[in-house]
Structure 1
Amino acid sequence: MSDGTGGAGGAEAPCGGGEPERSDSLRTFGEVVKAFRKRAGLTQEEFAPRVRYSVPTVASIEQGRRFPPLDFVERAEDVLDAFGALRGAARHLSRQPGLASWFRQWARFEAEAVSLYTYECRVVPGLLQTEGYARTLFTNQLPPLGDDQIEARWVARAERQRLLRERPNTAFSFILEEHLFLRRTGGTEGTRELISHVLDLAELRNVEVQVMPLVRNAHAGMAGPMQLLETPEARWFAYNEGQRGGMFVSERKEVSVLQMRYARMRSQALSLDDSLGLLQQMRGAS
């Protein structure tokens, strides 16, 4: 599904639109973190394990390229004895480069989720996209995007993709329609590269990929794509996206309906082994 990145998939301003806003707020927050870190006499390599994040993640936050997760803010505040400055600065983070405004709330929850489920019928989700596939989506967006906008969207998407490897305890489940690969977005070679990339990610212990076959007489996802996530506090939320905006769903009854549909689709899609077998077959035929 779209991701607020300009190319469906979950976080910047996908195929449907949603113009990302630009702001110095993330860069300012990053400079504040860096100043307090240096005041504490810590390098990024020394600071990262204390806040339980990787060095690349700390670097991205300090450079203003990544929205700081809530637990990062709290841990950094304590580790750096920042007098409440980081908490205060975080409250003013309302914009994220490369992310559509209507996607940012979901992106913050996504960064801390313990489970994340995605069903997509329009494009391969952003978390699974190759750079070539993503840029094809961005360059074909209407109204046309400028080079700087395309670059901002790719940077935001690439940052989000770190979640798959940097959060090994988060369970990622993807259900993808078979026709997404048959469309050959980005050409034959681009599709082969995309399938290989998805197969590589599916080897991660925390990533499951299932394919919904072209022919299926029962399908619980006919109402469209969806995303579901579980927070560390065991709360579930959902996100649905359309052509020009997204909808964050917190009402428990509504989320329960989507959970029921996703569970049914898991039984309707091909098994994990059969899904990977089909993808391997499609890669060879592309």
Structure 2
Amino acid sequence: MNTTDGADESSWELDPEDESGAVIATVGRQLKMWREAAGFDRTKFGERMGYGANLIYKIERGARIPRPEFLDKADEVLGAGGKIAAMKADVERARYPKKVRDLAKLESEAVELGAYGNHNLHGLLQTEEYARALYEMRRPAYSPDEVERYVSARMARQGVFYRLPSPALTFVLEQVTLERTIGGRGVLRRQLERLLDIGQLRNVEIQVMPTDSEDHAGMGGHLQVVKLKDGTAVGYVEAQLPGRLITNATDIQLLELRYGIIRSQALSPRESRAFIEKALGET
């Protein structure tokens, strides 16, 4: 039985400023009422569930987000007949940080997405272990629960690659992102293999910006442009502080122009694939 509050238990910490807290608080209250109606105290319920009483307490008061498997188990233990398990959809929407939900929503509605990154690979391209290594090196440090929450959210966004109808997805990567051994050499090797796999999808183009390129329009940092089904476009930029969405039409035109120039200055998709294969062979 698990008796600690670490990330290995079926929950994540909740950001108190995230409006999804109301959903999680409601789920927690429902779980508490079902538990009490079944005649369990927290200790006994925790034993039946395989978790510590302290974790049960935090979930019931809305301080932790229960994982889907926790809700399934609680439904079984409490004899809820599917009523607790049915809350998984609501919890799933509330599971991820607001800024991630907003970005994921845009990506889910995209017909075209173009992204340039200058210091690490774009989140949609990352393997789980690469993403985990990135979050674990953040300073100030994230808690294990926060790392788990962000990694899971990032992996969930990658369904955009296989959505139908398929959006057009283009990425420009800096050469250094193919060489920096984030997470270790083995993690980098598997990440390069992932890039080669993703690059074979018909709706994806990956380009590399060589370090020795004399012309480079992307020195201002990470940028992303998303074109939506309704014909509008949204930009996204990142710096040291949290990224922000760009909706001003003039600013979006500037980002689109800049991204187009960056793509023209980078290696072609075919040349980039050869470059990535070479990097993999040298890693």
Provide the TM-score with structure 2 as the length reference. Answer: 0.68
Letter in 2 for 1:25: V
Secondary structure, counterpart of 2:91 in structure 1: coil
Structure 2 residue identity aligned to 1:126: G
The corresponding residue for 1:47 is none
Shift of 1:103: 4.7
Instruction: Report whether the alignment pairs 1:142 with 2:169.
Output: no
Residue of structure 1 equivalent to 2:211 = 214
The answer as to 2:52 corresponding to 1:25 is no
Alignment match, 1:157: 154
**Mapped contact 2:175–2:210 kept (Cα < 8 A):** yes
Which one-letter code corresponds to 1:154 in the other structure?
V
Distance 2:169 2:206 in 1: 8
Aligned to 1:35: none
Which residue among 248, 270, 277 is the counterpart of 1:251? 248
- Greater relative contact order, per chain length (Cα 8 Å cut-off, separation 6+): 1
- Separation (CA, whole Å) in 2 of partners of 1:64 and 1:167: 25
CA contact (8 A) 1:208 1:272 kept: yes
2:259 equivalent among 243, 262, 269:
262
2:125 to 91, 116, 128: 128
| 1: CA distance, partners of 2:216 / 2:194 | 26
Distance 1:20 1:28, change over 3 A: same
Q: 1:64 aligns with which of 63, 69, 91?
A: 91
Letter in 2 for 1:23: G
Within 1, Cα distance between the matches of 2:139 and 2:95? Answer: 19
Q: What does the per-residue CA deviation read over 1:33-78, in whole Å, with 9 as the maximum and x for residues that have no partner?
A: xxxxxxxxxxxxxxxxxxxxxxxxxx9972632x4xxxxxxxxxxx
Compared with structure 1, are the counterparts of its residues 20 and 189 closer, same or farther at alpha carbon in structure 2 (3 Å cutoff)? farther
Task: Find the aligned partners of 2:89 and 2:116 in 1 and give their Cα distance.
Answer: 33
Aligned 8 A contact 1:236 1:255 in 2: yes
Larger Rg, first or second structure (1 or 2) = 2
- The 8 Å contact of residues 234 and 252 in structure 2, kept in 1 or not, is answered as yes
**Distance in 1 (alpha carbons) for counterparts of 2:184 and 2:217:** 30
Matching residue within 109, 114, 118 for 1:117? 114
Q: Which residue of 1 aligns with 2:187?
A: 190
The unaligned stretches of length 5 or more in structure 1 are 1-17, 30-58, 68-95
Structure 2: stretches of 5+ with no match in the other structure:
1-14, 28-85
What letter is aligned with 2:118? C
CA drift of 1:104 comes to: 3.9
In structure 2, which of residues 211, 214, 226 is the aligned counterpart of residue 229 of structure 1?
Answer: 226
Q: Structure 1: which amino acid aligns with 2:233?
A: W
- Count of matched residue pairs: 210
Taking structure 1 as the reference length, the TM-score comes to 0.68
Structure 1 residues 187, 147: closer, same or farther in 2, change over 3 A? same
- Cα offset, 1:263, TM superposition: 0.6
Q: 1:248 to 1:203 in 2, by over 3 A?
A: same
RMSD: 2.5
